[in-house]
Structure 1
Amino acid sequence: MVSGAHTVAVIGAGKIGELMLSGLLRSGWPVDRLLATARRPARAEELTARYGVRVVDNLTAVVEAEVLAVAVKPQDAAALLDEIGPKVPADKLVISLCAGLPGNFFSRRLPEGTPVVRVMTNTPALVDQAMTAISAGAHATGEHLTLAEELFKPLGATIRVPESQQDAVTALSGSGPAYFYLLVEAMTDAGILLGLPRQVAHDLIVQTAIGSAVMLRDSGEHPVKLREAVTSPAGTTISAIRELENHGVRAALLAALEAARDRARELAAQAE
């Protein structure tokens, strides 16, 4: 259980902000040490009803919280920082959950010396299986990174990366769940084509995906070796893999992740 020694404000509690709020509460973080802000009154009422969290305006959050987790859309970040930036004391930790925005986007709009930590998590936080990458921005110390890890470990696994790698992280794990869901969708359709009921195909694929992921995580083996263990000479698996290669699946994945990375960079440029 995390300590809850700090008051944390999630500024802009949309989908990603709500993931953070709910994960902290599941971990035992005291609800009276959590604040949220929301643009719409209906959203504020929803958050209070669902979690019991107090929803305040942005400037109240800045005054009362020691940690400010900014989770607004990238295109809304500049306006938010114009509003709260002059009011943020330089000793408060600012955590950015805004996809694509570098730490210096925040540093230029906050008082000199304000520590900024950039974070990219993903939606499996809903089941405490997120992958969260944490990077030190301007003026962030090891202590600040440790605090950020404390906040996000209840949601799943964490890893520290240089900020220069965050756009790649966004493409790989931030957007990654969608790629797997698309693959499951396609494999389910294939199962139906082969004569299986939809629910049977779905259950087969989901459990196969879970088992394969656990083997990758726990065996320590390279994925090539694990794949080769399933691929018998002249067997069914190699026939399927040949078709995947013929249709350029590997090249498509490389191109897709490059496109996601480039879009993260575009979002940062547009936010400026």
Structure 2
Amino acid sequence: MNKKIAFIGAGSMAEAIISGIVKSGILTKEQILVTNKSNRERLENIKSKYDVQCILDKEEVIREADIVILATKPYDLKDSVESIKEFLQPEQLVFSVIAGISTDYITALIGNNNPVVRAMPNTSATIGYSATAISAGKYASDEHLIQAEELFATIGTTAIVDEDDMHTVTGISGSGPAYIYYLVEAMEKAALEAGFDKETAMELITQTVRGAGQMLKESGESAAVLRKKITSPAGTTEAGIETLNKYDFEKTIMECVKSASNRSVELGKNE
């Protein structure tokens, strides 16, 4: 990819994407520029870990970039755009990975017709396993979407969706890894209470989660079918599933996704 990418924001999501891009080799370290509001220590940390170009001078960062990635917290977006918009050129492509914030709002903040593409990766980008949804703003063309897919494919899989669906995407794949980690925490506690040592418990649980994910990906069968195949009548798995049903596990997960999606909507209302 013969482009220079500028990250505005150097938090956990920016770092996850940077890590994935560096590991993929699609860009050289010289093609990746990073800046933030004023946290020099954080930039030095990113520089030491990934050897990318970390610069506090916003004008220098924007001037060199073909693609600008907005990766701030939602409440920092307005100030961040104010600090760079005078340096943006109309041909520069803008990607946003900020939860809940619409492309129309970003376009209004920028104040010109820069193409804006919204993306929702997750932190599994760090190891190249993100599930990233992508949607186009009103000035973004098919070519801009192709560029977004090319970049975000380096950190996992991509899917183009309508922007109206991005709130649900946030609740499912954006926040989804945290739900899985929470499940693992609970399984680990159960294993430790049963007398397992932590290392053995985590080896078994991690491989179980990994194997289940691969089965979903490779078997061609639905989660319901795969679950039923290992749930023998009056067996151990059935006993476990009955307990999950007793505590309304399915409804809890569905409400969990809705809560995250609704929070994404609330963040958008603060535009």
The answer to whether TM tops 0.5 is: yes
Task: Output one character per residue of 1:122-180: Cα deviation in whole Å (capped at 9) or x when no partner.
Answer: 11111111111111112111110111111111111111111111111111111111100
Give me the CA root mean square deviation.
1.3
Greater shift in the superposed pair: 252-261 or 20-29: 20-29
Distance 2:200 2:51 in 1: 39
- Residue 47 of structure 1, CA deviation: 2.1
Task: Output one character per residue of 1:206-240: Cα deviation in whole Å (capped at 9) or x when no partner.
Answer: 11111111000001101111011101111111111
In the other structure, the counterpart of 2:48 is 49
- CA contact under 8 A between 1:86 and 1:111: conserved in structure 2? no
Task: Read off the aligned partner of 2:35 and give its amino acid letter.
Answer: T
| Residues 1:17 and 2:14 are matched in the alignment | yes
Task: Read off the aligned partner of 2:44 and give its amino acid letter.
Answer: E
| Residues 1:183 and 2:180 are matched in the alignment | no
- CA contact under 8 A between 1:88 and 1:111: conserved in structure 2? no
In the other structure, the counterpart of 2:71 is 71
TM-score normalised by the chain length of structure 2? 0.95
In the other structure, the counterpart of 1:148 is 148
Task: Read off the aligned partner of 1:18 and give its amino acid letter.
Answer: E
Task: Output one character per residue of 1:65-87: Cα deviation in whole Å (capped at 9) or x when no partner.
Answer: 01000101100001112222243
Task: Output one character per residue of 1:24-48: Cα deviation in whole Å (capped at 9) or x when no partner.
Answer: 2212211221111022111222222
Structure 2: where are the runs of 5+ without partners? none
Task: Output one character per residue of 1:60-112: Cα deviation in whole Å (capped at 9) or x when no partner.
Answer: 22211010001011000011122222432221100001111111111111243
- CA contact under 8 A between 1:89 and 1:111: conserved in structure 2? no
Out of 4, 8, 24, the residue aligned to residue 5 of structure 2 is: 8
| Residues 1:113 and 2:109 are matched in the alignment | no
Q: Aligned ranges for residues 28-177 of structure 1 at < 5 Å?
A: 28=25, 29-38=27-36, 39-56=38-55, 57-177=57-177
| Residues 1:232 and 2:232 are matched in the alignment | yes
- CA contact under 8 A between 2:8 and 2:80: conserved in structure 1? no
